[in-house]
Structure 1
Amino acid sequence: MALLKKVNQILLVLLVLTVCVILYNKVHRVPSTLKNETAHLENGEEMEEEIPVVICAAAGRMGAVIAAINSIYSNTDANVLFYIVGLKNSIPHIRQWIENSKLREINFKIVEFNPMVLKGKIRHDASRPELLQPLNFVRFYLPLLIQKHEKVIYLDDDVIVQGDIQELYNTKLAPGHAAALSDDCDLPSTHEMVRSVGMQNTYMGFLDYRKQTVRDLGISPSTCSFNPGVFVANMTEWKHQRITKQLEKWMQKNAEENLYSSTLAGGVATSPMLIVFHEKYSAINPLWHIRHLGWSPDTRYSEHFLQDAKLLHWNGRYKPWDYPSVHTDLWEKWFIPDPSGKFKLIRPDS
């Protein structure tokens, strides 16, 4: 009898414990919908896509890359990762500039470019030696410098971004295209500028059609060119199509045969891309590459037109950190003075 009583007491205790556990779970249980929402938010934060932007920091032009980066960083909430490419001797300067200014908050990586990869591939051009600087060819070697990204934005240093870089990154590339670029005939508003300063916007301005190798390409000399100072690249297609090898092939051919009219137009970095990407590229929104601001020291666009532009490009000889140049106010508002004092703006009163 005593044993039976003891068993009943144990069962009663177990029953009470079971009821307590059930009540505790009901009170503290998180609804499944809330669990899913929380997990979704956490995953969203973890999965926020990085926007890789490749830009070069050349000695003597450090202020350019600083202004470009500042304009991008200030006009977006996107998670931008800047790949700043430089030569060994210039890297300490750009790192110091960033870390001692408000740009210390940006997400960036410094990448050293080895100019030895260009050995034997560049033909000397005494008329435009600046076009032969090693960093002009960084755009050819993106997969070697940037490893983990499917999509990459490449920008020349002489640009200012007025729009949200996320919009440029969202550019759709057609299947089989390794890049999206700006056609030089895409924006009627720039045609008057092209005519007024005698610019070339066809393949005739870049390739020497007197050479049989060029004629054998079968590309009409009146074909509209494009500007490779701003583009969005698909790294998978780039590697699959061996774009870097193709570009190197045409660099080598030019070194041997002098195929490019570099004195007329954009030099030896543009011409190989015109050949390799002929009829094999997607288009970016024309407002994301308003160019030619550096082609004349006095020919200007209308202020209204420039206000609508998403990206401004001072391609040409007349740079906004130098003098003379045009629309310098639109560039200088993003410039951050060099803490070391090495880089100074050239102004008429300086």
Structure 2
Amino acid sequence: MYFHESEVIRDKIILGNEIDHGSETQHIAYGTDAGFLIGCAVSVASVLQNNKDKTFCFHLFTDKCDSQNISKFQQLSKEFSSCIIVYIISTERLIGLPSNKLWSTAIYYRFIIADILREKCQRVLYLDSDIICQGDISELFLVSLADNIIAASIDRNKEWWQNRAHALNMPELENGYFNSGVLVINTNGWASFNLSEKAISLLSDDNVVPRLGYYDQDVLNILTCGNVLFINPIFNTQYSLNYELKDHPDCPIEDTTKLIHYVGPTKPWHIWAKDYLAARPFVQAKEASPWCDTPYQKPSTAMQYRYAAKHSLKAGEYIAGACFYYSYIFCKIFK
């Protein structure tokens, strides 16, 4: 085991009664930072709202969580008789790993999660914080992993698999490249393969990093190639709200979709995107959660101001669009 709890967990806050880790308990984990905490919170609420007959233990790994959010998580755990454990992470061992404007070091929390939870459960469902549940997900806890390390859904299409296979010099990926936002993790298999240690090693290798376009996801595809069970895309239906800027966006979200993954830089908790039909599952889950009164996020970076301007202009909100655009120019020049 590469990450040990005593070394990377600064604090652990148990909300609700810690559930007996028997076969009836379903474990779900998230890795998030402050910018995505509202997404994580509403994601947890959406799972509970759509799976009321299940017993869950949620494991939330984050670098910080203020008292107001802790109180709301406590309220949520009480309402649904579930256990929510908040792990405050020490991130020193992740400093220096590749990151950019879209992805902070929080994308690497999943490597800590798999190691820490091995003693609690043989299987854990990892979800990105930009995922919303709108159906029964019990199938994910019943699927046979056999000797596979993880189960995951494909990312995009065969052309994209070929793209990643070529970029990563891994011809085997032409047979399937997965999205890492939803992972059913075989914790024993993960540990036996020393996957966390191997992943951090690749992410620290100057010869490998330049080939990585999707840091943690690329590395996971490289290391688990041949040991992945591909599952139905209804458990990771990916859609970018920036597609709404097109004249006729093709939205794959349907009534049969179980887990919606809002990929891309614009999220449904952003004030400029919340009114889209595609964002409605998030909005409905938020309104029925303890975070119902939490304001939608306003833009704060140049990239966010730029997208806020585009979406506002698309909606015919020209004054707001102009204001966002000028703020974008200001950020580009002075920040």
Match for residue 276 of structure 1?
A: 223
Q: Alpha-carbon deviation of 1:291?
A: 0.8
Against the structure 1 CA distance between its residues 257 and 75, is the aligned structure 2 distance closer, same or farther, given a 3 Å change threshold?
A: closer
Offset of residue 81 of structure 1:
0.5
State the one-letter code of the partner of 2:280: D
Superposition deviation, residue 221 in structure 1: 7.1
Decide whether aligned partners of structure 1 residues 103 and 296 sit closer, same or farther in structure 2, where only a CA change above 3 A counts: farther
Q: Is the 8 A contact 1:297 1:318 kept in 2?
A: no
TM-score by length of 1: 0.68
Deviations 1:135-172 (A, max 9, x none): 21111222332131011000001111112122222122
Provide, for residues 51-78 of structure 1, a one-character-per-residue CA deviation record: whole Å limited to 9, x for no partner.
0000134212222112111110011111
How far did residue 184 of structure 1 move? 2.3
Question: Which of 83, 96, 113 in structure 2 is aligned with 1:142?
Answer: 113
Distance 1:143 1:220 in 2: 25
- Contact kept, 8 Å, 1:55 with 1:154, in 2: the verdict is yes
1:62-104 CA-partner distances (Å, limit 9, x unpaired): 22112111110011111011101111x3353431232356865
Question: Which of 208, 233, 236 is 2:188 aligned to?
Answer: 236
Query: Per the alignment, do residues 301 and 169 of structure 1 end up closer, same or farther by CA in structure 2, a change over 3 Å counting?
Result: farther
Give the gaps of 5 or more residues in structure 1. Answer: 1-44, 186-190, 195-199
**Matched residue, 1:328:** 279
Provide the secondary structure at the position in 1 that maps to 2:222. Answer: helix
Distance verdict in 2 for CA 1:292–1:261, change over 3 Å? farther
The corresponding residue for 2:123 is 151
Secondary structure of the equivalent of 1:335?
helix
Q: Flag the 1:119–1:47 CA change in 2: closer, same or farther, 3 A.
A: closer
Identify which of 214, 238, 255 aligns with 1:307: 255
Amino acid at match of 2:59: Y
Whole-Å separation in 2 of the counterparts to 1:101 and 1:220 = 43
TM-score, normalization by structure 2:
0.71
Which residue, 181, 192, 210 being the options, matches 1:259? 210
Structure 1 position 123 matched with structure 2 position 98: yes
**Following the alignment from structure 1 to structure 2, what is the Cα–Cα distance between the partners of residues 48 and 278?**
28
For 2:166 and 2:67, the matched residues in 1 are separated by 40
Of all paired residues, the percent bearing the same amino acid is 17
The residue aligned with 2:333 is: none
- State the match for 1:9 in structure 2: none
What are the Cα deviations for residues 234-273 of structure 1, in whole angstroms up to 9, with x where unaligned?
A: 11111111111121121111x45533342xxxx2121111
Structure 1 residues 91 and 232, CA, compared in 2 at 3 Å: closer, same or farther? farther
1:1-350 map, 5 Å: 49-76=24-51, 77-87=53-63, 89-100=64-75, 105=80, 106-120=82-96, 122-123=97-98, 128-131=100-103, 133-146=104-117, 147-173=119-145, 175-184=146-155, 201-202=160-161, 204-205=163-164, 209=167, 214-215=168-169, 218-219=170-171, 222-253=174-205, 255=206, 257-262=208-213, 267-294=214-241, 296-298=243-245, 300-301=249-250, 306-322=254-270, 323-324=272-273, 326=276, 327-336=278-287, 343-346=295-298
Residue 304 of structure 2 is matched in structure 1 by none
Change in Cα spacing, 1:148 to 1:80, as seen in structure 2 (3 Å) is same
| Two-structure CA RMSD over aligned residues (Å) | 3.1
SS of 1:111's equivalent? strand
Amino acid at match of 1:272: V
Q: Cα deviations across residues 8-45 of structure 1 (Å, max 9, x unaligned)? A: xxxxxxxxxxxxxxxxxxxxxxxxxxxxxxxxxxxxx9
Give the aligned residue type for 1:283: F
How far apart are the structure 1 equivalents of 2:235 and 2:161?
Answer: 20
Unaligned runs of 5+ in 2: 1-19, 299-307, 321-335
1:273 aligned partner, one-letter code: L
Letter in 2 for 1:335: K
Taking the aligned partners of 2:50 and 2:173, their CA distance within structure 1 comes to 39
CA distance in 2, matches of 1:220, 1:238: 20
Instruction: Assess if the C-alpha contact under 8 Å between 1:289 and 1:313 holds in 2.
Output: yes
Residue 77 of structure 2 contacts residue 83 of structure 2 at CA under 8 Å; is this kept in 1? no
SS of the equivalent of 1:130 reads coil
AA partner of residue 292 (structure 1)? Y
Contact conserved, 2:241 with 2:273, CA < 8 A, in 1? Answer: no
Alpha carbons 2:59, 2:86 under 8 Å: kept: yes
Letter in 2 for 1:204: N
